[in-house]
Amino acid sequence: MEYQLQQLASLTLVGIKETYENGRQAQQHIAGFWQRCYQEGVIADLQLKNNGDLAGILGLCIPELDGKMSYMIAVTGDNSADIAKYDIITLASSKYMVFEAQGAVPKAVQQKMEEVHHYIHQYQANTVKSAPFFELYQDGDTTSEKYITEIWMPVKG
């Protein structure tokens, strides 16, 4: 499976977060979460707050200690007064395996995520960190079969 290794510095993320009972429940509700955020103007507002450390919008999967999973729609931002209504987290500096999902969202992302998880469990189980991982959605037509979504999985070392 093809991927690139990338090093990211620590990032401040600004966004909105929902918590689910488990990963399966999250998969069932994440598309609706995105749709609500678009309809309510949250995505447009977040895009204005993006400081450009990562160009695009992140879909951040955060494993919780109690087995639950949080999902955060976020941008890289600065800790300023106009973000008070949003959740703010710091994503620690890390090395990442970056995979590309080509095709219309969300189907291409869901399919590639299954492939990535299978690959990691089979070949890279000892290298992946138990830490947040994310999808990076850059500008473009997310309904196009040529659209590329990046999937960033944190690794040790």
Q: Which residues of the chain have pLDDT under 70?
A: 81
Q: Write out pLDDT tens, residues 61-76.
A: 999 989 899 999 999 9
Output the pLDDT for position 81. Answer: 62
Output the pLDDT for position 135. Answer: 98
What is the total count of domains within the chain? 1
Token pair listed for 26: 């999250």
Token pair listed for 62: 């955060």
Give the range of the structural domain holding residue 136, as residue numbers without chain letter. Answer: 4-155
Q: Which value, in Å, is the radius of gyration of the alpha carbons in the chain?
A: 15
Output the pLDDT for position 83. Answer: 83
Output the pLDDT for position 45. Answer: 95
Query: Cα separation of 72 and 94, whole Å?
Result: 18
CATH of the domain at 10: 3.20.80.10
Query: Cα separation of 38 and 2, whole Å?
Result: 32
Output the pLDDT for position 65. Answer: 87
Q: Tell how strand 11-20 and strand 87-91 pair up.
A: antiparallel
Output the pLDDT for position 42. Answer: 97
Write phi, then psi, for 13 (nearest 5 degrees): -110, 135
The overall pTM is greater than 0.85: yes
